[in-house]
Structure 1
Amino acid sequence: MSSGIGLFVLPDDSSSTLLSIQLFLFLAILTAVFRFWLVPGGLAWALSKAKTGAPIPGPSGFPLIGLIFTFMSSLTHRKLANLSQTLKAVPLMAFSVGFTRFVISSDPGSAKDILSSSAFADRPIKESAYELLFNRAMGFAPFGEYWRELRRISATYMFCPKKIACAEGFRKNICHQMITQVRTQMDLKGDVEIKQVLHYGSLNNMMMTVFGKYYDFGENGDGLELEGFVSEGYKLLGTFNWSDHFPILGWLDVQGVRRRSRKLVSKVDGFVRKIIDDHSMVTDQDNNHGYFVDVLLDLERENKITRSDMVVVLWLAVIVSVAVMIIVYVLNGCGFAYDNQGHLVRGKLLVVECGLGCRCPPSCRNRVSQKGLRYMFEVFRSIETGWGVKSLDLIQVGSFICEYVGIVLTKRQSPDILNEWRR
């Protein structure tokens, strides 16, 4: 008979306590992560103290970073629209990028309410916009008395019909020069970069309107410095800056946005101030052609605006105006939607015309439907199809006829409607 020894080891109290603490911390962290991550909209909305009533539906995204990868790829707007349809959050969808809350609308009605409400007038200031001093310009300034004053100045002295009509002469000259550039490039190279021609033409249009000065963007022209400023400003405003969404990265300036913005501001400030000083030296009223810079100088003498505000307002007027003209061109498929007679160049599902953001005159070839009816029509009633409209004039192919508002019927609804019309 063999003998054995049984050994029983009791756990140490200190080790058991340490294990319990670690397990508790792990469960607490895990609970917190799921608590904030699984909230509709993600981390930023979970940390928000704003009371929105029922939560806005939206994806949680990745932990901490949210939907950041959506903004780092192309066609971001389409991806967000598809996501809102998948989640059935077309009117409003919430999501997070880092610690920044986002809310988007893919519904025209909701978007209209947002754009027309003063409650949404303030926009978050990007670091690049703040460093470029655009927080003091109308596009980025907070809604209030200062913003309303800037809007009044722009609407009264820059966008009014009288100023637009007075600038028609030099706009025609710029158009003729653009046509000459296209013809010259075709003769030399056989192809034309229309975007560049449009960019230079629209930039000169605004420089004449704002400063009364024309620039040459040729190889050794005096406009190369200006074009460099504008291009760098677009790049900085369009750069996805991690510091805007992760405050801790703002101290490091990983992408160099702050450094590049401050460097550009110093150059632009000297460039614009020199033009302002040149205009301020003109004391003879006969030599004052009423350019926008002259208007702002008069307001400065009345202590209604400071010199620093003038620099920002003038510079942003140039950048925004050029962007509006290029956007309309691109939305029309990088081509003109109408010919000189107002006929569609080619059939398109969507045509974008010039609007309030453009400084073109009413005679602009990209303003057709806004002019209303140009043909005679007669409303009549048919026995077979009900009420209808017919033309009394000969209408050419591609001509604008009229605005029509109707209803979209399904195959199931159409017989009932037709029977009702025949009564």
Structure 2
Amino acid sequence: METITWIYALLSLLFVLIVFKFSAKSGQRKFPPSPAAALPLLGHLHLLKFPLHRTCYNLSQKLGPIFSLRLGSRLVVVISSPATAEECFTKNDVVLANRPRFLIGKYIGYNYTTVVGSSYGDHWRNLRRLTTVEIFSSARLNTFRSIREDEVKRMLEKLGGNSLGDFARVELRPLFTELTFNNIMRMVAGKRYFGEENDEAERFRGLIKEAFSYGGASNPVDFFPVLRWIDYKNFEKNLTKLSGKLDDFLQGLIDEHRSNKNTNTMIDHLLSFQESDPESYTDVIIKGIILVLFNLII
């Protein structure tokens, strides 16, 4: 009984501190207008209904083209004006360059060091230059044109086989997922993992499926830091395990290509730079670039 009393006392104290923190911040800064119906701790989360773009549109009709929402401990500014959105990506692009630091960026994104999650600065600029020139340039992508053509051919053959006898209903989403992942992984590591039945392919598909479940911005722990104290639903524990499994898998790919230097993949290309500039092309940097390519799909 005494333990429960202490828990309630600590929670009450926490509640007072959070409210005081929010009130102090509101007095120091001038935020865009927001709905008046903010709840303690939750903020405006109770106002969000699917589809979200409809909710934001309805709020913009009342509050204007720029308004703010408090989602738990995080402040979100919503912009529905095309002209203002353009200004955010031009005049104020540096101010708005950083992304929110969700826990997935700490564990899956190598402690916020990938080009997707790192803070704006020299490290981010170096990663952007590296990915722009060595990964996403037209010249680099053209070297893998035959892979894309082959994967499209495989997909069309599968579609043709499904409807060989008569018309057939086909679900396109899994086909496009298979096409995209196989395209990327053949360019990255020279391997197909979807449509293949072996232990490595099964392991990869399992890791991707698990990573999907942590993607996006729907994890309560990221909006209510107090939940980290109790590791809500073992969120951080499970994320730590997934991080280790992903890192082992990616490191295995790098080690394999370091031993066999006869293939023309993105990993081999980056490893060739590692020999002359090991500080700029570490294994962590290479693994982070591979994860960014996954992120384009996830």
Under a length normalisation based on structure 2, what TM-score does the superposition of the two structures give?
0.83
Residues 66-121 of structure 1: CA distance to partner in whole angstroms, max 9, x if unpaired? 122345x531232122112122x21x111101221111101111112223311101
- 1:21-420 equivalences in 2 (<5 Å): 46-48=23-25, 52-53=29-30, 55-60=31-36, 61-71=38-48, 73-87=49-63, 89-90=64-65, 92-116=66-90, 117-133=93-109, 135-187=112-164, 190-218=168-196, 222-238=200-216, 240-283=218-261, 287-289=262-264, 291-301=265-275, 302=277, 303-317=279-293, 319-323=294-298
Secondary structure in 1 matching 2:186: helix
Determine the C-alpha separation between the residues in 2 that align with 1:222 and 1:306: 24
Is the 2:181–2:194 contact (alpha carbons within 8 Å) kept by the matching residues of 1? no
Is the 2:193–2:205 contact (alpha carbons within 8 Å) kept by the matching residues of 1? no
How far apart are 1:298 and its partner, in Å? 2.8
Determine the C-alpha separation between the residues in 2 that align with 1:212 and 1:256: 35
Secondary structure in 2 matching 1:273: helix
Is the 1:44–1:99 contact (alpha carbons within 8 Å) kept by the matching residues of 2? no
Determine the C-alpha separation between the residues in 1 that align with 2:269 and 2:197: 33
How far apart are 1:309 and its partner, in Å? 2.5
How far apart are 1:246 and its partner, in Å? 1.8
Gaps of 5+ in 2: 1-15
Counterpart of 2:158, as a letter, is: Q
Secondary structure in 2 matching 1:104: strand
How far apart are 1:50 and its partner, in Å? 8.7
Q: Which gives a bigger RCO, structure 1 or 2 (Cα 8 Å, sep 6+)?
A: 2
How far apart are 1:312 and its partner, in Å? 2.0
Determine the C-alpha separation between the residues in 2 that align with 1:178 and 1:50: 58
Determine the C-alpha separation between the residues in 2 that align with 1:56 and 1:237: 28
Determine the C-alpha separation between the residues in 2 that align with 1:321 and 1:186: 31
Determine the C-alpha separation between the residues in 2 that align with 1:308 and 1:168: 27
Counterpart of 2:60, as a letter, is: S
Counterpart of 1:165, as a letter, is: N
Please report the RMSD computed on the Cα atoms of aligned residues, expressed in angstroms.
2.8
Distance 1:280-1:221 versus aligned 2 partners, 3 A rule: closer
Secondary structure in 2 matching 1:121: coil
How far apart are 1:280 and its partner, in Å? 0.8
How far apart are 1:51 and its partner, in Å? 5.3
Whose helix fraction is larger, Structure 1's or Structure 2's?
A: 2
Residues 375-419 of structure 1: CA distance to partner in whole angstroms, max 9, x if unpaired? xxxxxxxxxxxxxxxxxxxxxxxxxxxxxxxxxxxxxxxxxxxxx
Determine the C-alpha separation between the residues in 1 that align with 2:75 and 2:84: 18
How far apart are 1:236 and its partner, in Å? 0.3
Determine the C-alpha separation between the residues in 1 that align with 2:221 and 2:267: 35
Secondary structure in 2 matching 1:93: strand
Secondary structure in 2 matching 1:120: coil
Determine the C-alpha separation between the residues in 1 that align with 2:60 and 2:241: 40
Sequence identity of aligned pairs in percent?
23
Gaps of 5+ in 1: 1-32, 38-42, 324-423
Is the 1:208–1:214 contact (alpha carbons within 8 Å) kept by the matching residues of 2? yes
Q: Which residue of 2 aligns with 1:327?
A: none
Under a length normalisation based on structure 1, what TM-score does the superposition of the two structures give?
0.60
Number of residue equivalences: 277
Q: Which residue of 1 aligns with 2:4?
A: none
Residues 37-64 of structure 1: CA distance to partner in whole angstroms, max 9, x if unpaired? 8xxxxx87644279555x4111132232
Is the 1:58–1:95 contact (alpha carbons within 8 Å) kept by the matching residues of 2? yes
Distance 1:70-1:183 versus aligned 2 partners, 3 A rule: farther
Is the 1:45–1:96 contact (alpha carbons within 8 Å) kept by the matching residues of 2? no
